[in-house]
Structures are given as structure tokens and as C-alpha cells.
Structure 1
Amino acid sequence: MAVNAAGRLWRLTRAADLEQLWDAMTDDPRNFEDERLPYWTELWPSSVALAGWLAERREEIAGRACLDLGCGLGLTALVGQWLGARVTAVDYEEDALRFARLNADRNAVAQPCWTVMDWRRPAVRARSMARIWGGDIMYEKRFVAPVLRFLTHALAPDGAAWVAEPGRSVYEAFLHALHGGGWQGRRVHTARVEPLYAQPVPVTVQVWEIRRGTP
């Protein structure tokens, strides 16, 4: 598939559509352990909006250690790398990273540091990331606490995280936990993303900036 984001055309290779992978998974119940659903095979509107935001913040990320949390097919990781950031891109699924590597080659972008990682078990140095970003990662309430713990571990003291979300109700729980846990969150960008597949209408995506609260 092809998508325009951050001022250029990106061509992305994907395994299949979500429905096809879901049908294949039902043959083996082990595939449902820990709810490892193949959401990574889709390009989500939040990733396109987040890519545009990264392009606007190019001077903030160029030359700095950044992390893409839940990178999927790799679009926002590749955009960050292309803009000059030193990107570590993590996903729970090794298959996702296999396609992300292919997409880096296909778009002539230097390979980020692709890492298989469960955000409940951080595998990055403490407080080492100047910027952390993720597109539509907050789609279940059970992710709220582990994502906040990951940010606490990985984000530099003066760093910022950018989370793009398409108006899911669960995000209210995330904002509540943010403010109750000593973080500050503010909406910094809103984008209207045209249909990527067969959804009938454009999707409005908001990007939130998250920082540690002042003592």
C-alpha cells in the first residue's frame, strides 16, 4: 500500500489484512494467549497523523534518541529516522518488525534499531529517550498502567512523549491516570486523516504531548 505522510510518499508491505490474519489465527488457540491479536498488519490513521506531527517537530528530534512504542509496520519509526532522529522502534510481535525492516529498505531509509519488547518489561536504558511516541496504542484500559510505568522508566527527565489517538473513550482513563500520577498532558495537534481502507469517513486524530509534572 502507499500513503502520503510527512511530506512524501511511503510504500508499505504488509502481511495481509486483519480479517485474513484473524481467520488464520482461529486454527490454533495458542494464538490468543495474552491477546496477541495482529493489529500490527494494519496502518492506522493515528500513525499518519503522528507522522505529520513528527515532521513539524523535526528540529526537536533530529540527532536525538527517540523511541517508537508499538511501531507495527514501521511508518512513524521510518519517518523519525528519515527526519534525522536516532530511533529505537519496539513491538511485541516479531512478525511486525520483519515487515518494518522490509519497509525501511523499500523506502530507502536507514534501519532504526528494531527491538522485540513487551512494554511491561522495558528493555531500554532508564531515562534515556528524549522523545517517545506511539500511534493508537491506548485502545484497551489495561494498557494505561503499563504504558505510564514505561514512560516513567524510559523518558528522559526533560523529555516528552507524543501519543496520537482517534477519540477512543479509553483515552479518558489514560488522561485521568496521567494527572493523578504527576504527569502533564496537553493536546498539541489535530489532523483529519482521509480513509486508508474501506472506512466510509475520514478520521480525526489528536496528538497529545506528555511530560513530567513540575515538582
Structure 2
Amino acid sequence: MNNRSMNNRFTIKSVAVAQERFELELFADLDREFSAHFDELSDPAKDLPEPPLFGSLWPAAEGLANYLLQKDWPLRGQRVLEIGCGLGLPSLLCAKLGAQVETMDHHPGVASLLARNCQRNKLKTLTFHLASFQNTSARLGTFDLIIGSDILYEPDLYPKLEDFILRHAAQKCLIIIADPGRYAVSRFGSSLKTKGQYKLEKLMISGHELPIEIHSFQLTR
């Protein structure tokens, strides 16, 4: 990977996923973004969204993208949804391999950055939903493959996430969640496990010391 300066706020990172390469626009300094965010929080008149976690390439997203490519599934024509997409590396990979990809995230800053990354990688702009899985009225359609990376950091929300997934899962949907090994992740998926087969795999990513956990649920309902 290499970085080259773009402007004061963003930089461009070249990312290799096996034989595929992507150019990702992301925050040049995540610490600076967080500082600016929390400085604004001191103003009670401002209603701010979540911290800007979306603007960084997290190890679990790299792990998920590498896992999807290694498995060599026939993604062409498959309907794919990425939950909490952020920069959208796994979605960009799926789109490049011919899938019909939709993305969602609850941070309003994601849409424009994701659109620029699609353009930078010569891909059609992906459908983006500004939504949270906590919204019980959300209806985005059904999907053959539902993916997410590093979205299991709030155990109290696992039931809502599982409900969201089941509402949007096609009959034989495959669900793949990549996680860096958070402490409570073993509690995730109880309702998904009752409707199909569960598998846990671990994948090492170049440049990272710890493996990424890949949790997959193949629904058979």
C-alpha cells in the first residue's frame, strides 16, 4: 500500500486485494477528524452524527474483501448489501466482480466519499441508503449476500442487527461478518444460527498482527 497527499483533509491509498487493486480516498489524519468532531460537540446548539469512523480503512474491511475474493464465489448477478459500509472496500470488490451491490451506513458523510471512490475505481455509483439497522421500519429489499465488517462493537444491539439482517435476507442468503476479535462477538448470531449453518474462520491480513474473524451464516430456511 502507498499513500500520496490529496489535500489537507483527504489522501489516496492504493489497496491490494490479492490480484485486484483499488484506489481509496480516505481521511489523511483520523485523529484530527476526531478532535474536530469532539470540539464541535462542545457547542450545544449543534446536533452532530456519530464520530467519523467511516473515513478510515479498518483491518476487518480488508479481511472481508480478501475473504470474498479467496472464496471465488459466483458473485455476478447476486444482490449484495453491505451494512455499515464506510469506505466500502468489500462493496467495491463485489461490484467489480459483477454483483448488484447496495450499501448502507448511518453517517451522512459516507455517501459523497463512497461515490468518489466508485468514480476513482471506474465503477458505477453504488446505491446508498442513509439508514441504521436499529430502524425497525427499514425495508431495503432482500439480498442473496449480506456483509459487514467491524459492526459488532455494541453487544446490546446484536438482537436489532440480527432482526435487520433477517428482514433483508433472501431465502438462502449468505451472511458474512468480519470482526477484529471483539470481546463479546461470540454472543452474536443466536437467531441466525437457528435458521442455517454457522462457520467461524480466521484470516491473516498482511500488515496486521492479529487475524480477522470471519463469521458466516448460510440460511437454509
The interval holding the TM-score normalised by the smaller chain is 0.7 to 0.9
Structure 2 residue ranges without an equivalent (≥5): 1-12
In structure 2, do the counterparts of structure 1 residues 17 and 142 end up closer, same or farther at CA, with 3 Å as the change threshold? Answer: farther
CA contact (8 A) 1:144 1:177 kept: no
From 50, 58, 64, the counterpart of 2:64:
50
Matched, 1:85 2:99: yes
Instruction: Give, as a single letter, the amino acid of the residue that structure 1 aligns with 2:199.
Output: R
Count the aligned residue pairs. 205
CA contact (8 A) 1:14 1:41 kept: yes
CA distance in 2 between counterparts of 1:131 and 1:32 reads: 38
SS at 1:60 equivalent: coil
What TM-score results when the alignment is normalised by the length of structure 1? Answer: 0.85
Alignment RMSD:
2.4
State the structure with bigger RCO (CA 8 A, min sep 6), 1 or 2. Answer: 1
From 172, 176, 198, the counterpart of 1:185:
198
> Match of 2:219?
212
Note the C-alpha offset of 1:32. 9.8
From 18, 23, 26, the counterpart of 2:38:
26
CA distance in 1 between counterparts of 2:196 and 2:187 reads: 14
CA contact (8 A) 2:172 2:220 kept: no
CA distance in 1 between counterparts of 2:45 and 2:22 reads: 30
> Match of 1:198?
none
CA contact (8 A) 1:133 1:163 kept: yes
CA distance in 1 between counterparts of 2:111 and 2:29 reads: 16
After superposition, what is the alpha-carbon deviation per residue over 1:19-72, rounded to whole angstroms, capped at 9, x for unaligned?
111101122226997971211111111111111122234443210111011110
Identity %: 23
> Match of 1:99?
113
User: How do residues 1-215 of structure 1 correspond to structure 2 at under 5 angstroms?
Assistant: 1-29=13-41, 36-121=50-135, 122-125=138-141, 128-176=142-190, 178-179=192-193, 182=195, 184-187=197-200, 189-195=201-207, 201-212=208-219
In structure 2, do the counterparts of structure 1 residues 32 and 211 end up closer, same or farther at CA, with 3 Å as the change threshold? Answer: farther
CA distance in 1 between counterparts of 2:150 and 2:45 reads: 22
SS at 1:61 equivalent: coil
CA distance in 2 between counterparts of 1:172 and 1:33 reads: 34
What TM-score results when the alignment is normalised by the length of structure 2? Answer: 0.83
SS at 1:186 equivalent: strand
CA distance in 2 between counterparts of 1:101 and 1:89 reads: 11
Between Structure 1 and Structure 2, which shows a larger proportion of helix residues?
Answer: 1
